[in-house]
Amino acid sequence: MIEVQNIEINRDESFEAALRRFKRQIEQEGILREVRNRKHYEKPSERKRKKVKGRR
Task: Give tens-digit pLDDT for 2-43.
Answer: 567 788 888 899 999 999 999 898 888 888 888 888 888 889
Report the pLDDT value the prediction gives residue 12, as an integer from 0 to 100: 92
Instruction: Return the number of other C-beta atoms located less than 10 Å from residue 22's C-beta.
Output: 14
Question: What b/e string do you get for 45-55 counting C-beta neighbours within 10 Å, with b at 16 or more?
Answer: eeeeeeeeeee
**At 6, is the secondary structure helix, strand, or coil?**
coil
Contact 15, 9 (CB under 8 A): yes
pTM: 0.55
List Cα–Cα distances, 49 to 1, 2, 13, 44, in angstroms.
Answer: 25, 26, 47, 9
